[in-house]
A and B are shown apart, each in its own frame.
Chain A
């Protein structure tokens, strides 16, 4: 058992995957000598060489486009997009090429590519460095979208993602890179990649969250105890596909649900969950599914981000509203 940060857990997971499979490559901007702007790939180039840990030119479409070619050649590229807001130059390659290749070839081509994206706000960054674009990928057939909420999941999920033969967009909660937890590398994960995790059992309402909002929701659930409320918290872990079975089971039990994410309100992951829960749990619900999210504005200047992002108080406000029905 070692106490490890979320960022270092991803580093350790990448290292384990590279040791296990010589076809795993890591590529991106500044990931080699520097170890990435968040140091997530620190030391990998020194140990695995420049052919496997590739400092790329500053061209995101190039990163993904060449990863497609490397995948066609039998490699398993793990691409780092430096910040959430920088992924869009690569959007065409991701949507039109990576996502569709297996389908277009009627199963003859596989695209075992992982696209790592540090995402979300809360770090006082300048524009384009705090966004939550997961919906823009989750909506695309052929892609799978996941996000880790704690260091233990970070360690295992990055390895499971690399082992997946489907392309995966892996959203890393950058403001939680320094959160610590005990990691036992010898104990294999109990959950497969596309399963949600009940991180706090409760009875009165379900908080559905992922990535950076897991910690926020757990804190809110603890605070809600003072109000006599026992909240269940689910770390969704997988956004495309959602683990609907776990969501439905929880909501049928608690009869109330609040979805929490940093991404904007409209057409967000919460919209899809609300629709599916309504379809499947209609007669169990005591209240409509509510959403506590970022607003439908561009990500604001950072001096205002505390007001923009869902925090403990806004989550509790959402709980108040869902309990008020």
Chain B
């Protein structure tokens, strides 16, 4: 069983014991899995995936497109068109599975790596690039797609999500599994050490807020492995806060969908928060500025390649759903088209000018700031006509 509910405290490690190593890639990790890395469907006593193969084809398409977008963004960074990129490589199933479980009225609070969830919510991928190209700081309207701005300060958004969920409570938007609203907060294994995340757990628990905490445990917080963040599996922490925690195979899009959907349903019904630990692996670097060869073994990477989230769905669809090459080719072609559009859109993003960025510091601008803007404009104008 990999679900924990409020009840007896989990085993406590005595201080004299040696730190417990995190589960290694080669070890068996207990989690909810519905599709094996080989592409075979398996049963789980608590979670089922009941949707048809067309839905699974849709998940496949989502994951391939998102990986293609991610690859293009990485290439744009390498060519100097983006200052930085945070790749989601390897985490496609965790993001598409959870993202596709959301209802239209649910609200998402992402980190800066949730490109797949953004895609599910209908956010134009080009909007994601502005922050990394340095032309804006996100600047999409969260209301357009129920997708809040990317948050870079680690874990801060979990409190925003909890507060938003408390607003849903106060608006009487919960209590109905079909029409109710929920909020989902994304964060990583590193963020689980942040005070804000732990405060968010407490607040969500005592106010019974309709929020799902979705932790993508990708095993690495830049260079720090999971055993620098925790001595127990992260999902077990939920028990100490008084709500259920569940670990899911984060590379299994079917299981991630099923587990997230159940947690969202629970939130919408008014039964409170759930912690989901999506057990996955950051296949790429932390960001394009990072060099993982300095701190992790290539054999781990090779091992996780065998658990690839897309390959297993490809295998399932080919073997058990009679999906032929045409479909896979079409998806690939669609990815290339989106990538080309993304590239063209990125290169066409207008360069911002500082005089525009005195706006929106305040709703009601201060006289001091207006004065500084005017001074800047006059100063900049003094160079006009110079070679």
Contact = CB atoms under 8 A, between A and B. Distances in A.
B138 A105 contact: yes
A35 B199 CA distance: 23
B340 interface: no
B142 A106 contact: no
Contacts, number: 145
Interface string A158-174: 00000011100000000
A166 B363 CA distance: 6
A75 interface: yes
B136 A93 contact: no
B248 interface: no
Given A104-B137, A110-B363, A96 B199 contact: no
A150 to B, nearest CB: 24
Nearest to B158: A65
Most buried by A among B200, B357, B363: B363
Contacts of A244: 367-368
A141 B368 CA distance: 11
B176 interface: no
Contacts of A189: none
**Dominant SS among interface residues on chain B:** helix
Please classify how large the interface on chain B is, using the bins under 10, 10 to 19, 20 to 34, 35 or more. Answer: 35 or more
B199 A108 contact: no
Contacts of B141: 105, 108-109
Contacts of A165: 363-364
B381 interface: no
Interface residues of A, number: 47
B167 A108 contact: no
A101 B151 CA distance: 10
Interface string B23-56: 0000000000000000000000000000000000
A61 to B, nearest CB: 6
B139 A105 contact: yes
Most buried by B among A72, A96, A107: A72
A203 interface: no
A70 B109 CA distance: 13
A69 B362 contact: no
Contact of B167 (A69, A141, A166): A69
B172 to A, nearest CB: 10
Interface of B: 109, 136-143, 148-149, 151, 153, 156, 158-171, 195-196, 199-200, 202-203, 206, 357, 359-364, 366-369
17 contacts: A62-B196, A62-B203, A65-B199, A68-B159, A69-B109, A69-B162, A69-B165, A92-B196, A102-B363, A103-B137, A105-B137, A107-B363, A108-B142, A109-B141, A164-B363, A166-B362, A244-B368
